A and B are shown apart, each in its own frame.
Chain A
Amino acid sequence: MQRVGEVIEASTTEFTAQCYELYQLPPLGSLAKTREGELELYGVVYNATTSSLEPGRRPIARGKDEVSEDEIYRSSPQLLKLLKSEFGALVVGHKQGDRTFHYLPPRPARIHGFVYLCPAEEVRSFSSSFGFLNILTGSNLSVPAEELTAACLRYISQAYEDRRRFLVAAGRELASLLSGQLNRLQAILERIKQ
């Protein structure tokens, strides 16, 4: 299981994790998980950021005399220690024992909890039903809910052999979920169509 970071901020609905390596960010919409006691919390990655370690210190442009971008980091190796990559994850469900629940866990994630990227097998078992779509489409984040939903479905579909079949099934679920909101439905469908 690939470890991608560590929780540095947590609430009931989401958690923020910092990556161990700069720019080692999981893709938008990917399924990450962390532990809280016997609970495993699932989060969908959104809003990844890379910024200065100290809030007051903004990076400055350094590449005027360098030939390539990589050269900048090579000539100032301290940069890697002064910057950090972080990502937020929207909690979409949890697992207790063998059972997966597509609703919010009773407790939020723990600070310094390790964050892993779910392997394909776990992605499939998590997405065997579509209860999590409700949280995704109902989210109110800096990333539009339609974008995030579409990105998540695209990501999950990669774990399936028949991607199209999965996406059609998800699309049909969305169609009933968003039955009165045709524009949103169409926006998502446009983003997941093959």
Chain B
Amino acid sequence: MNQERQRLGLVIRGSLNKGIEVRLDGSASVEDMAVGRYVTIEGQKRRFFGLVTDVSLGVSDPRLATAPPDVSDPFISEVLKGTSAYGTVHILPQLTIGGDVTSLLEGPQPVKTVPGHFSSVYLASQEDVELVFGQEDKERFWVGNPLDMETKVCLNLVELVKRSNGIFGKSGTGKTFLTRLLLIGMLQKSAAVNLVFDMHSEYGWAGGSERGGKVKALKQLFPAKVAVFALDEESSRRRQVSTDFIVRIGYDEIAPEDMVLLRQTLNLTEAATEAIYQLYRRFGWDWLRQTLELKDADETRALLDELHIHEATYQNLRRGLGTLRRLAFLVPKAGDNAVKRILEYLDRGTNVVLEFGRYTDITAYILVANLLSRRIYAQYRERTERALGEDTAPPHPLVITIEEAHKFLNPEVAGQTIFGTIAREMRKYNVTLLVIDQRPSGIDDEVMSQLGTKITCQLDNERDIDSVLAGLPGKSELKQVLAKLESRQQALIFGHAVPMPVVVRTREYGSADSYKSLTAGEGLSQKQAEKDIEELWE
């Protein structure tokens, strides 16, 4: 078996913390090594599975470096390569395979020691990688392939949705494609339903690709399992999206807490937010309409005097609320209850994508995402508690997807928004988050540390990289890996759902073949779903 695999070299030194150094054989070219590739190390008692994190060059005699030999002669260069002048690779051991009974039963185990001196190192074979990342099955979803390999890297989505997760990466690195893949995965493999706050309307019906052209999104691929809600009817019509529900939010649904979050984007002062609470105490749920309808100067004065609100504060507040008034989906009185509708769909196991249409500014996004999530959270909490008390089935696990997450989860507001709460504790109430962000350093550390699995595309800001990798063993080595990711279609996955950090070339998305493979096996369940719906209306 060993002969079939390519031997790379020998372990020469290292430590568990800092990784192992391997001297390459002459036959293995340094140029074939790539950061992020997998290797196996044959120890005496067990096999180790690790990741290449650095590649370097060495010479046995320092004089070789100062007075290089005549390498134009192929004979001399062939002799010296790999002997006097050699390559080394730095390997971070991650897992051990085989050996004793427990590891045979439980599969690969986290590494607790290092292989002995002069253990042989091989490139990991397809079987090794399969052993570690599993095969596609009813719980595991194929997200991509390891670098330079055909093996599939599968995420255990049932495990994944038990915690909040994050997808990070610079703009244009493929976060959206990855998210779409992951959403499809969850839709197929896990019991969870998704609620996606789709800021740029890319997940519901169709999305754009950087190469031009359009790619199909969830509803086109899984019509029976996805409902598209829209804030902006016109935009949906122009894009020829078949929407299931048009969301309208009444003034009387906006609570002072929702406004606190908007303080930064609406440029409200501290006193102005205080004033909102006072207005709320005075008018109750009708506070926003009442405030906006104040026209008469005398009436206003009387009210301000009564509530001890300063004139300047009031002006500040009015300007802020003026911005809200321009949002056409906000109406004095909403005809239907959006939260109720969303919950209905979610209860049926249908995933909901809320498209924002033309309201791509952050004010609308924060307001709506926060407002709806808070209500839904309250419902989930209540139902889960009831389920615990009455011993009935708890509601479907829910995954809420939010973009621009640093706006909700930055240290100033993470304590106040519902998302901060969900990230920290809502696992208990069957609600988790999928946060998508390009500036992970803007997200509160406490929230970051609670994310179960992190998927990160290329990042090049030092602070972002640090915040994503915080607390991970072998952080400095993985930093190298992360910094060397290609700018497209490559991602580093680590955390709860994978046994070890893995760099993947993400699965293809957008071609007819890819749609076919993604929806393969869907035929049956789709029919089932249609049948279910029919039964529902009978």
Contact = CB atoms under 8 A, between A and B. Distances in A.
Interface of A: 164, 167-168, 171-172, 174-176, 179-182, 185-186, 189, 193-194
A181 B82 CA distance: 17
B63 A171 contact: no
A180 B60 contact: yes
B533 interface: no
Nearest to A171: B79
B495 to A, nearest CB: 43
B83 A176 contact: yes
A35 to B, nearest CB: 36
Contacts of A168: 75, 78-79
A168 B73 CA distance: 12
Contacts of A182: 61, 63-64, 67, 69, 84
Interface SS, B side: loop
A175 B75 contact: no
Contacts of B79: 168, 171-172, 174-175, 189
Contacts of A164: 75
Contacts of A167: 75
17 contacts: A168-B78, A171-B78, A171-B79, A172-B79, A172-B82, A175-B60, A175-B79, A175-B80, A175-B83, A175-B84, A179-B83, A179-B84, A182-B61, A182-B64, A182-B69, A182-B84, A189-B75
A179 B60 contact: yes
A189 B76 contact: yes
Nearest to B79: A171
B69 A186 contact: yes
B26 interface: yes
A181 B60 CA distance: 10
A176 B85 CA distance: 10
Contacts of A175: 60, 79-80, 83-84
Interface string B59-103: 011011001010001011011101110000000000000000000
Contacts, number: 44
A164 B67 CA distance: 25
A124 to B, nearest CB: 21
A75 B80 CA distance: 56
Contacts of A193: 73, 75-76
A193 B69 CA distance: 13
Nearest to A175: B83
Contacts of B26: 172
Contacts of A179: 60-61, 83-84
A153 to B, nearest CB: 12
Given A171-B75, A175-B60, 8 more contacts: A171-B79, A175-B80, A176-B83, A179-B60, A179-B83, A179-B84, A186-B69, A189-B76
Interface string B192-225: 0000000000000000000000000000000000
A70 B63 CA distance: 52
A18 to B, nearest CB: 38
Contacts of B80: 175
The 8 lowest CB-CB distance pairs between A and B, nearest first, are A171-B79, A175-B83, A179-B60, A193-B75, A175-B84, A182-B61, A172-B83, A182-B63
Nearest to B60: A179
A179 B63 CA distance: 11
Nearest to A165: B78
A168 B77 CA distance: 10
A174 B60 CA distance: 13
A36 B30 CA distance: 50
Nearest to A180: B61
A169 to B, nearest CB: 9
Nearest to A167: B75
A176 B81 CA distance: 11
Contacts of B64: 182
A182 B80 CA distance: 11
A189 B73 CA distance: 11
A175 B82 CA distance: 10
A174 B76 CA distance: 12
A137 to B, nearest CB: 15
Contacts of A171: 75, 78-79
A88 B131 CA distance: 62
A175 B69 CA distance: 13
Nearest to A181: B61
Contacts of A189: 69, 75-76, 79
Nearest to B75: A193
A174 B13 CA distance: 24
Nearest to A189: B76
Contacts of B69: 182, 186, 189
A175 B80 CA distance: 7
Give the interface centre of A172, A176, A180 by most chain B CB atoms within 10 Å.
A172
Nearest to B84: A175
Interface string B331-369: 000000000000000000000000000000000000000
A19 to B, nearest CB: 34
A194 B84 contact: no
A112 to B, nearest CB: 42
Nearest to B83: A175
A142 to B, nearest CB: 28
B498 to A, nearest CB: 40
B178 to A, nearest CB: 46
Nearest to B73: A193
A171 B78 CA distance: 9
Nearest to B61: A182
A167 B84 CA distance: 16
Contacts of A172: 26, 79, 82-83
A172 B61 CA distance: 14
A185 B70 CA distance: 13
Nearest to A193: B75
A176 B84 CA distance: 7
Give the interface centre of B26, B69, B78, B83 by most chain A CB atoms within 10 Å.
B83
B69 to A, nearest CB: 6
B42 to A, nearest CB: 22
A174 B73 CA distance: 17
A164 B75 CA distance: 8
